[in-house]
Structure 1
Amino acid sequence: MESILIKTTQLLLSLSILVVLHEAGHFMFARLFKTRVEKFYLFFDPWFSLFKVKKGETEYGVGWLPLGGYVKISGMIDESMDKEAMQQPPQPWEFRSKPAWQRLLIMLGGVLMNFIFAFVIYIGVLYIWGEEYLPTENVKYGIVVNETGEKIGFKTGDKILTVDNQYIEEFHKIVPTIVLDEAKTVQVERDGQKIDVEISGEDMALMLKSKGIWTIRDPYDIRIGKLAKGYPAAEAGLQENDVLGAVDGNSFEFYDQFSTYMASQKNSEVSLEITRDGQKMTKTVKVNEEGKLGFNAAFNNPDIFEWKTLKYGFLESIPAGIDRGVQTTINYLKQFKLIFNKETKGYESLGGFATIGNIFAPTWNWAHFWDMTAFISIILAIMNLLPIPALDGGHVMFLFGEIITGRKPGEKFLEYAQITGMILLLALVLYANANDIIKMINGTF
């Protein structure tokens, strides 16, 4: 429950920052071109607002519906659907009275702000915290695959070598590379031999639906970490820092072998050898119905996997941060191909607010928070550029049409387009959040 609260808090804080900055982009360009802004709101305020104050010509406020935010620009058909104002003669301070190029910049202001902010965050994250990752070559015991990984063709103990014969330096980028680059093969070392694992469209669909296909294989060189109250380990008298040994006389080389054995002994008692303060002893423990004893495993040797840390000076962090922002943008754009691909069925993996919130860490970590905020900022920028009426991209599409043809769309046409776009967006939001609910019901979230 605590982790859900922390994730929710991070999501709301992140979205609040990004929404305010996005709307500030529209606001600044509007003011630059002397266009009146009637309202500037964080969250929507149907019927009432939580807070509002008027300064000059603009009312600033906080709404109660946390689905975004908005700026109400005079003389513009937007989500407010203010038809009465549009029936009055155009005024020089109104959006509709400005040249097309100025209106275009006003509409692109929010997206531009999101991109700039994301790049600034990446620069700051790399400068302050640097970059830590696990090199693929250092995953020396291979992987532990789940049911999905087995269906695709991977096996526990496989050591990942290359993807489409290209070496991936960062181990945790291997799966995203397979998916985003639509890889055809993955080269693994299995029992001392190099083997090609072929990836089909059906395999890609499985990967998109799954929470993961493998984890890093750990050696059975562990001790007991935090104990869960009410679970068999605590009730049997096991203590933190007890070193695990044989179980029912069985010795294990890897931790997944221990987990597999525990799963086979559900609701049964096992004899567990442990070492406590240098003294060996045996404890009888009953395995619960989930095949668990109820403790977090800790490595006896925490440096068993050698991670790599890159540190950046201020000047070095600027190009590195920009490059990271560009790569994140490119990778996110690649996902659109998967969404519309009938074979991979990427549209079934679309998620709503629960999916977005789930990308945040269950404990508060500022480096991770800002990294995810930059990622969401890029998502918001790209999504807002989609040529759907009611989004910035829809307005931009009509403005480009006006610049090319020299003819401005009729206000009735824009009004109907806005309504259509709002219905489409509502349908997309409902579909994405329905996917979240289905995943929760199926236990695949």
Structure 2
Amino acid sequence: MALVEINFDGLIGPSHNYAGLSYGNLAATRHAGQASQPRAAALQGLEKMRHNMALGLPQGFLVPLPRPNYTYLAALNARPETDDVLTAIAWSASSMWTANAATVSPAPDTADGRCHITPANLVSMPHRAQEWPDTLRQLAIAFASRPHFALHPPVPPSFGDEGAANHMRMTAAHDQPGIEIFVYGRTGGKFPARQHEQASRAVARGHLLDPERALFVEQNPDAIAAGAFHNDVVAVANEHVLFCHELAFADPKGTYSAIRDMLPEAEIVVVPDNEVSLADAIASYLFNAQLVSLPPGGMALIVPSECHEQPATRAYIDRLAASNGPIRQVIHVDVRQSMANGGGPACLRLRVVADPVTVDPRFLLDEAKADAIEAVIAKHWPEQIEPFDLQFVSLEETVVEARRALLATLGLEQLA
């Protein structure tokens, strides 16, 4: 099998809006109540995918979940005309951040030689806790080959699991055995710690990982309090490289030592707080980047355009690209609509190491399919949504029809 890393980006749905539902996500709460631009958001996300394909990187996608979520509203006996918060939850387009869709352990790391996938229960936030049943339906289609994939139910809701946003893998090469790093938080701080240690350990056991190759690391409580609601806001790894902020982990020296013991070839690039403060890193999403291996060789860091606009991060990445370190290229992408709701390039993608021929081809992107998706977005996605628009039947009809048109274009009507 030719195992490669495939990034599965979430197509940004037609109900994309700024309701400010994510407590602890500073960007989301700061933009709460503003008008969103679903069409521009979806086109920005699609353009990022096209850019990655142009770099020679395999690209997949997941489709938006059904919104508004009538099942959720009915279960709560909610009245859209009066229950504003519950209505906003039912309209949430947050499934676009597929880094939270699941945790993925590639076949070289597992005892049975299959790629194991566990959808995240996302119980910490009501607007996200509703996602996993529809996410599971989609993953079951995309990764239906049982000889190659093992799909698990989510961790029971007593323990919060936020998926790959709190999980990193390091290895000499994507198709080689690696180590898996699970980052969890502890409760009691300014903001909720969304990843529970026991959820991480349950996923590792279910994925049949070698205990000697699985590392459980506490996130720095100061990072969570500063707005790093997931580990991927302060750290990102790719193959043998870890790129992280100095204040990412509760015990940085112990974490780095354990990584090097498990993977001697590991290179750890630590950004000092006196060069890029924690506040600047979170505001710019420097670490919520895609760190990728380029086909010609070398690694590139794909960062949001906000990193260029912020003086401290711009100065740092200029030095990074000019250094003799493992990251020689920094690429800026425009995902402003996602950023305003608290998700950068890394939030928008789920990394799966697999042979592309084992994946349902309807979920793999090429230029022709990208053109078809772009045409649907341009025709059906709303141009703008104000918070008060969520009560209007006309918008509801537009959003439902937009998703229906996308599914028909992709031959995925079974997800309707």
TM-score, structure 2 as length reference: 0.21
Q: Which structure has the bigger radius of gyration?
A: 1
- Greater fraction of residues in helix: 1
Normalised by the size of structure 1, how large is the TM-score? 0.20
Q: Which has the higher contact order (CA 8 A, sep 6+)?
A: 2
